[in-house]
Structure 1
Amino acid sequence: MTILLEVEKREVRPRSIKKRLRQEGRIPADVYGYKTENIAISIDEKILQKALRKNGQNAVYTIDIDGKKMNVLLMEEQTDALSGKWIYVDFVSVDMKELTEVEAQIVLINDAVGVKQGGMLNQTLYSTLVSATPDKLPETIEVDVSKLEIGQSITIGDLKENKDYTILADKEEQIAAVEERVVAPEPEAEETTTVE
C-alpha cells in the first residue's frame, strides 16, 4: 500500500522561488529515478511531517505530477542548521517490482543479562543498508540483546534471515556488545607534612 502525497510542480530558477516557497510553508524538492527525468516540485511541510511520523522514512509514497502518478521514496532531506527546519528534500521514483537499497535504523530491544550483572551495553551500529522491493523495506530492524552477557557481542551475522529484505552489511560487523564497567581508581590523598 502506498500513501498519496500532494505535490506541485515548481520553477527551477530563480533562487527567490525556493525562498518564497519556504515562507509559504512548502519545501522545495526534486524527483528523479526510475523512468523519470529530474522534476522540480514542492510539498507542504506539515503534510510531509505528518506522513513521515505516521508511515516512516522508508514508506512508499505516491505523488501525482500533472496527472502522472509515480511511486517514490524519500531519499534525502536537508535541514537548516539553526532552526532545524527542512529546506530541501529528494524523492526517488521506484519500480515496485525491483529491489531498492535504503538505510534502516537498528533498534535494540530488551534488557541484556550482562547489564543486570553490572556490565554496560554499547551500541556500535545504528543503521545498516538493506535491499528489498519498495513495499517490503523496513523502517527499523529490531535486535534482541536480552541474552548478551558481559564480554559478548552481537553481529549482523547473528541476526535471523528475513524473508522480506536482505541486510547488505558485512556479517562480521558488530551491532552491540556488553562490556565490563571500568571504574577509575580514586586518586590517593596526598600526605601533608607540617613543619614545626
Structure 2
Amino acid sequence: MTDIFTLDAEVRTDLGKGASRRLRHANKVPAILYGEGKDPVSLTLEHRHVFRAQEEEAFYSHVLTLNVDGEKVECLLKDMQRHPFKPLVMHLDFLRVDATHDIHTNVPVHFINEEAVAKKGAVLAHHINEIAITCLPGKLPEFIEVDCADLEVGQTLHLSDVKLPEGVTSDELAKGEDHDQAVVTANAPKGGSDDEEAAEEVATEE
C-alpha cells in the first residue's frame, strides 16, 4: 500500500462464514466489490493496511484505488463492519465508480470560525455532521466547510446557505425547499436574555 487511498486486494473464492473466520484469524479482512453493472467480486485485504487507513477521516469520502490482482479499480467505501469491542475491521463493502458517471455519497462537514461566534456570547449547536451530495468522482471533496463567522445569536444556517464546491450539488436540496435542512444554530447561552427577562417579570409581579 502506497497511501491510505490505495489498497492491495486479492480475489477470494473460499466463501462463507467459516472462510471469513479463517481470514480474520490470518489478519485479513473479507470484502466485496460491486457496482457499475458488473458482477460482485469477493476480496481479501490485509487488516493492518485497512486499519491504518480507516483511522483517517478522508478514507471515508475519497475515491480509493484497489489493486485487485494487478488491476486497478477506482471505488468508494460504502460500508464497514467493525467488531463490537475489539479494534478489528470485520468486513468492507466497496462500490465501483466511473469517472464519467455521477456518484451519490456523504461527505463530512468541517465547521470553521466557531470562535468568532463564541465571542458574541453564542453557543453553537451542530445539527448535521455530513452532507449527502452528487458529483463526478473527480469533483468529490474530502469535506465541506461551513463558515460560522457571520452567524449572529439566534441565527441558523441551512443547507441553502452552504457554499458547495464547483460541480457538487446537495441531494437534499434537489428534493425541494422542504428539505433545506438546518446545519448549525447560534443559540443564546443558558441564563441569557430570556431567563433575565423572566426573572424581571417575576420581580415586578412580586
TM-score by length of 2: 0.80
Which stretches in structure 2 are left out of the alignment for 5+ residues? 196-206
What's the offset of the Cα at 1:118?
Answer: 2.0
What's the offset of the Cα at 1:128?
Answer: 1.2
Contact 1:112 1:149 in 2 (8 A): no
What's the offset of the Cα at 1:162?
Answer: 2.3
Task: State the match for 1:42 in structure 2.
Answer: 44
Report which of the two structures shows the higher radius of gyration computed on alpha carbons. 1
What's the offset of the Cα at 1:165?
Answer: 1.4
The alignment yields a C-alpha RMSD, in angstroms, of: 2.3
Contact 1:101 1:130 in 2 (8 A): yes
Secondary structure at 2:61's aligned position in 1?
coil
What's the offset of the Cα at 1:112?
Answer: 5.0
- Letter of the structure 1 residue corresponding to residue 168 of structure 2: Y
- CA 1:83–1:106: 2 relative to 1, 3 Å: same
Secondary structure at 1:56's aligned position in 2?
helix
Contact 2:154 2:185 in 1 (8 A): yes
- Correspondence list, 1:34-183, <5 A: 34-52=36-54, 53=56, 56-111=59-114, 113-170=116-173, 172-183=180-191
- Letter of the structure 2 residue corresponding to residue 108 of structure 1: F
What's the offset of the Cα at 1:27?
Answer: 0.8
* Percent pairwise identity: 24
What's the offset of the Cα at 1:98?
Answer: 0.6
- CA 1:117–1:63: 2 relative to 1, 3 Å: closer
Deviates more, 1:174-183 or 1:62-71: 62-71
Contact 1:3 1:62 in 2 (8 A): yes
What's the offset of the Cα at 1:11?
Answer: 2.9
Deviates more, 1:132-141 or 1:100-109: 132-141
Secondary structure at 2:18's aligned position in 1?
helix
Secondary structure at 1:50's aligned position in 2?
helix
Contact 1:114 1:149 in 2 (8 A): yes
What's the offset of the Cα at 1:175?
Answer: 0.5
Task: State the match for 1:24 in structure 2.
Answer: 26
- CA 1:94–1:66: 2 relative to 1, 3 Å: same
- Letter of the structure 2 residue corresponding to residue 77 of structure 1: M
- CA 1:55–1:108: 2 relative to 1, 3 Å: closer
What's the offset of the Cα at 1:155?
Answer: 0.8
- Letter of the structure 2 residue corresponding to residue 166 of structure 1: T
- Taking the aligned partners of 1:166 and 1:141, their CA distance within structure 2 comes to 12
- CA 1:20–1:179: 2 relative to 1, 3 Å: same
What's the offset of the Cα at 1:55?
Answer: 5.0
Contact 1:106 1:128 in 2 (8 A): yes
Which whole-Å deviations, capped at 9, do the CAs of 1:39-86 have from their partners, x for residues lacking one?
110111222233453852222222233454321111110111111421
Secondary structure at 1:104's aligned position in 2?
strand
Aligned residues: 184
Secondary structure at 2:160's aligned position in 1?
helix
- CA 1:167–1:65: 2 relative to 1, 3 Å: same
- Taking the aligned partners of 2:5 and 2:59, their CA distance within structure 1 comes to 11
TM-score by length of 1: 0.83
